[in-house]
Amino acid sequence: MKSVYLDNAATTPIAPEVVEAMVPVMQSNFGNPSSSHSFGRKSKALIESSRRSIAKHINCLPSEIIFTSGGTEADNMALNSSVNQLGVTHIITSELEHHAVGHTAQALSKFARISSVRVCEKGNVDLDHLDELLQTEEKTLVSLMHANNEIGTKIDLKKVSEICRKHNAYFHSDTVQTLGHYPFDMKELDIDFITCAGHKFHGPKGIGFLYVNKNVKAEAIIKGGSQERGLRAGTENVYGIVGLSKAMDLAYEDVEGHQKYVQGLKSYMIERLTSIFDDIYFHGETDSEKSLYTVLNVCFQKNDKSSMLLFTLDLKGVAVSGGSACSSGAAKGSHVLEGINADMSRPNARFSFSRYTTKEEIDYALEQVSAVFEKTLA
């Protein structure tokens, strides 16, 4: 049976070159980076060279990169630091945010007022409403994800940053779905916090970072040693950091070429789906300027077999998602689809692509989807 992986928004296969970079570190560089002897110094040197490399890719200072276990920890660190260290008493976010932000904001509601900015049925943030919400004397943090992991809709980071600066508000963006997929220039963007997870762009799991603007003072949420300049205690994941750096090197080696190739696959799938089905639509934006080129969320018509869509595709070797893999154990439906007032009675599937996805795999997936709905391929 053919095996097709189209759930790259959940995680990506690790690049062979990343494995090759990590294995020697796992075998030979076992020294604790905090140790002053030669074994420790070699491990520390690997961490710092990786930090410099990553900083160069996004045009920031190496000291602005704080290594974490991934995007969730980085989001938690940004929000907690804002309230506990920066004195934020008002958090503005949206109902469509990843739970790493939404649940953290809710936990902080004992200490800060939480406001939700309006979003439209395509998932776009109402920037006029954001401007209204910011007209307050309270010290405020705006936390809005760069691109939604379920429906793919993007925000304009520069415009949001300008609105925040106009009102002297802090700005955090969950950029887990976009770092490694789009160019970033942190000096131009003027954002206080962004987050990264290596496994979203063919790097290892369990490693990521929080970017903290040099003008902002963050606070450690994990207490203990003085690693990461006292901001993140615990012995560093040396081989993970090396793998993250290598994955970012590969991602930005030809970021425009990767985008063109994967956008071509997404456009092809949209074209084929609309030719096969009369009654489907796409959640979120599909325009390439407003949407992730890696994500396509499809709402299908309902029939006797459609409730088993994801299960049936899995049996046929096609891996897709109904929403965020991070909450797949939950019984509730997608909070993102609810937030855009989608028809929750109809089946949906999120197809997400990578530079390793092929047109032949798209064709096979389309065959299996068509079979579920008893459609004949043109």
pLDDT tier at 376, thresholds 50, 70, 90: low
What 3-state class would DSSP assign to 196? strand
Q: Report the share of the chain in percent with pLDDT over 70.
A: 96
What is the spatial distance between Cα 329 and Cα 144, in angstroms, rounded to a whole number?
A: 24
Mean pLDDT across the stretch 349-363? 98
Statement: residue 330 has pLDDT above 60: no
What confidence tens digit (pLDDT) does each residue in 171-199 have? 999 999 999 999 999 999 999 999 999 99
Helix ranges (DSSP H) in 85-149: 99-107, 127-133
pLDDT given at position 67: 98
Which whole number is the average pLDDT over 12-35?
Answer: 97
How many beta carbons lie within 10 A of that of residue 275, not counting itself?
A: 11
For residue 306, what pLDDT band results from cuts at 50, 70 and 90? confident
Q: Is the pTM above the cut of 0.85?
A: yes
Four-way CATH pick for 4-12+254-372: 3.90.1150.10, 3.30.1490.20, 3.40.50.720, 3.30.479.10: 3.90.1150.10
Stronger pLDDT, 372 or 182, i.e. the higher one: 182
Band of residue 287 on the pLDDT scale cut at 50, 70, 90: very high
Say which CATH architecture domain 16-253 belongs to: 3-Layer(aba) Sandwich (3.40)
Band (322; pLDDT cuts 50, 70, 90): confident
For 68-93, the pLDDT digits (tens) are 999 999 999 999 999 999 999 999 99
Q: Is the pLDDT of residue 324 over 80?
A: no
The structural domains of the chain, with segments of one domain joined by +, span 4-12+254-372, 16-253
Taking alpha carbons only, the member of 100, 109, 44 closest to residue 76 is 100
Residues identified as active-site: 326
pLDDT exceeds 80 at position 331 = no
